[in-house]
Amino acid sequence: MLQPPDLSLSLELPEITPAEFAQIQQLAREKFGLDLKPGKEKLVEARLWRLLRQGGYKNFHQLYRDIIRDTTGESLIALIDALTTNVTSFLREAEHLEFLATTVVPALWDRPTIDIWSCACATGEEVYSIAFVLLERFGHEIETRLQLLGSDISTRALRYAERAIYPESRLANLPPNWLQRFFLRGHGRMAGYYKVRPEICRLVKFERINLVEPFDHLPRFPVIFCRNVLIYFTPEARSECVPRLVDRLEAGGYMFTGLAETLSGTDARLAYVQPGVYRKKPARKLRRGGNDQWSDDGV
Ligand SMILES: C[S@@+](CC[C@H](N)C(=O)[O-])C[C@H]1O[C@@H](n2cnc3c(N)ncnc32)[C@H](O)[C@@H]1O
pLDDT band at 283 (very low <50, low <70, confident <90, very high): confident
Q: Would residue 162 count as lying in a domain?
A: yes
In a domain, 4, yes or no: no
pTM, whole model, 2 decimals? 0.91
- The answer to whether residues 191 and 254 belong to one domain is yes
Looking at the fold, whether 64 and 120 belong to one and the same domain comes out as no
**CA pair distance 25, 33, nearest whole angstrom:** 10
pLDDT tens column, 137-176: 999 899 999 999 999 999 999 999 999 999 999 999 999 9
Q: Is residue 88 part of a domain?
A: no
Which among 26, 56, 83 is the end of a domain?
83
Q: How far apart are CA 250 and CA 163, in angstroms?
A: 31
34, 79, 80, 84: residue to mutate for ligand 1 pocket, most atoms within 8 A of CB: 84
Q: Is 183 a pocket residue for ligand 1 (Cβ < 6 Å)? A: no
Stated length of the chain: 299
Q: What is the tally of structural domains in the chain?
A: 2
The rounded percent of the chain whose pLDDT value lies above 90 is 88
> What is the model's pLDDT at position 296?
45
Say if residue 126 is in the same domain as residue 265: yes
Determine the angle formed by the axes of helices 18-32 and 41-55, rounding to 10 degrees: 90
Domain boundary among 57, 83, 109: 83
CA atoms 50, 56, 61, 62: torsion sign? negative
CATH number of the domain bearing residue 56: 1.10.155.10
Residue type, 60: F
Pairing of strands 277-280, 249-256: antiparallel
What digits encode the pLDDT tens for the residues 184-237?
999 999 999 999 999 999 999 999 999 999 999 999 999 999 999 999 999 999
- Tell whether ligand 1 has an atom less than 6 A from the beta carbon of residue 227: yes
Compute the distance between CA of residue 101 and CA of residue 98 in angstroms, rounded to an integer: 5
Round to whole Å and give the CA distance between 214 and 156. 21
Residue range of the domain that includes 67: 18-83
For residues 62-87, give the mean pLDDT.
Answer: 94
User: Which pairing describes strands 287-289 and 292-294: parallel, antiparallel, or unpaired?
Assistant: antiparallel
How many H helices and E strands in the chain?
11, 12
pLDDT tens-digit map of 23-39: 999 999 999 999 999 99
Q: Which of 117, 119, 152 to mutate to test the pocket of ligand 1 (most atoms within 8 A of CB)?
A: 152
Residue 153 in contact with ligand 1 by CB distance below 6 A = yes
Indicate whether 8 belongs to any domain.
no
Check whether 91 has a pLDDT greater than 80: yes
